[in-house]
Amino acid sequence: MRILTRQNQARIGAALVSAVVLAGLGTSVPATADEPAATTADVASDAYLAPYYTQGDLDGDGTIDQADLDQLVAALGTTSSDSGWAAVAAADYDDDSTITLTDVSELSQRIIYDDGPFSLVEASALDMQKAMNAGVTTSHAITQAYLDRIAAYDKTVVDTSTGGRALNSIISVNPDALELADAADAKRAAGEATSMLEGIPVILKDNYDTTDMPTTGGCGCWDDNLTSDDATMVTDLRSAGAIILAKASLDEFAYGFVSEYSSFQAAGSTTLVASPYVTSRTAGGSSGGTGASIAANLGAIGFGTDTGGSIRVPSSYNQLVGVRPTVGLTSRDGIIPLALSQDTGGPIARSVSDAAIALDAVAGVDPADPATAAAAGKIPESYTSYLDPKALQGKRIGYLASMVSTNATTVRLFNQAKADLEAQGATVVEISIDGVSTVLNEGSGSTNEFKHDLSSYITNHLAPQVTNRSISDILASGRFVTSRTSTYVQRNNVTEEQYQAWAGPTGSHTTAIANGATVVTQAMDDDDLDAIIYPSGTPYNTYSTNMRLSPNTGMPAVTVPMGQATADDGTSAIVGAGVNLEFLGRKFAEGPLLGIAYSYEQATEHRTTPSLYPALDQ
């Protein structure tokens, strides 16, 4: 990546004389590895994209900045035979044993800074940091621009084709967003910005507790659930400097994939979330609002939850990157649960890089969620350190033919994906896994666990002013998606004995997930695999039991755009509809998995911008 414009490269030339160029730019300085975590005992730090943005860090502060540039300028002409060589050798980029202007220029390009034009649509967190460091824009301006896009697009029907409808991706907007952005700008001006998320507006699925907006779970029954504290992951995001911009719509209580919700509506009324590519189609679910809003550039990075596909389905429907982390990598405390045996929270983003940045902020051990104890010692300094365009070289990747589908679009895209992976140096092999059908056929925990797990949330987190404090109360209120009445009744009828037999320490589901992890991990070991791949679905649909492989093993999955349907795919093709490629890895191997996904993404660049939601006129 190149950071400085030609104009600034000229300024670097002046710095070679004065050694004062770029002073006072407020370049972010990531936290060092030995700094205490703000909210968890074992979390990733914010060193970004090592080694590119760290090789040449001469003063050991974890980033390349003005101080490193000054030191290198002062060392011009130093050779490997000089006594001061050890202090500057890391910046000898051309390996010629001499510090030259070439090395100074290369180092300058690794400062997170760009004073060129800034465009909000499709901007990454890195793009935003560069522009804010250069003074081209501010967190306030970026936040205001996203608020403007939400106001202009979210409830407006811009699709004039048959069945076109509004996105309906946002339930609540943070009234304090601009004030928070101003605080982030003040930190940057004072040289105190310490994170790649500093000043970056984030959208949360509306099942994450937040103190500044109600947490409804998509249900009108909980419109007044303004909690007294944030979910642990939200606390981590705020500590990293993120601006919590808005709460996204979802399928009520994360029940399904259509993203139908009743929040802030009259009893009996509901709303569906639309995909920004084909608004007559669902955005998927249950994190559909997060998927639609991030795809339409209503926010920078999103967060969802995934029990049986709820991060990966909307990611596939909306050409996004979704990360379903290992169960236990991120805390679920303060998130409305569906089934804690399989629930996990993770990022939904427009790029693998943004997803890795987001995961850095939230991965960690939290005493309030005992499952996270397993993450201790397994979290890297930064997931971004794995983002190598050549990460696929030498990797061995397997796939099960039964998971590919017969859909013409999916078959074509998957065959091309295999070729693309091999073109990047990977070996792709068809595999078989003894016992995999049992793993894939294990059901979701949502039916047998929802009542038990929701009761715990109600006791520990639900705001005291909320009167609907049980499933029975919710049913009596009439303030829910009433077409789901039978589902609510079924889940309300589950007894504690049934729950324990299913999800207790020796329950059948608990045992099945553990066995699933053993079966799939052993198969990966036997075949020397780095990842298993499969389509996340078909255009605007899931396929068979593909979404169950990750939750039924507790293993992580990363889904990345694989391409779009074309008219050549047949008469039933949904032209422009996306399908994602999913990568499954070993438990707590999110780093290598993100590296593989990044290499594939960089080689193919399949994501497109929804044309219905262009930049607003200034």
List, by residue number, the catalytic residues: 205, 286, 310
CA 22 – CA 8 distance, rounded (Å): 9
Radius of gyration over every alpha carbon of the chain, rounded to an integer in angstroms: 24
Phi, psi of 414 (to 5 degrees): -70, -40
Please give, one letter per residue, the 3-state secondary structure of 253-299.
HHCCCCCEECCCCCCCCCEECECCCCCCCECCCCCHHHHHHHHCCCC
Q: Say which residue the tokens 């760290």 belong to.
A: 54
Q: 541-574: buried (b, 16+ CB within 10 Å) or exposed (e) per residue?
A: bbbebbbbbbbbbbbbbbbbbbbbbeeebeeebb
| Nearest alpha carbon to residue 126 among 48, 74, 205 | 48
Q: What is the DSSP letter of 82?
A: S
What are the DSSP calls for 201-217, one per residue?
A: EEEEETTB--SSS---T
Length of the chain: 618
Helices 125-133 & 177-189 angle (0-180, nearest 10): 60
- Token pair for residue 357? 């940045």
Query: Terminal CA-to-CA distance of the chain, rounded, Å?
Result: 29
User: Using an 8 Å Cβ cutoff, are 305 and 311 in contact?
Assistant: yes
DSSP class of residue 483 equals G
CB 231 within 8 A of CB 258: no
Strands, E, within 27-113: which ranges?
A: none
CA distance 449 to 129: 42
Query: Which of these, 92, 25, 105, lies nearest to 65 by C-alpha position?
Result: 25
Q: Which helix (DSSP H) or strand (DSSP E) does residue 172 occupy?
A: strand 170-173
Q: How far apart are CA 603 and CA 581, in angstroms?
A: 14
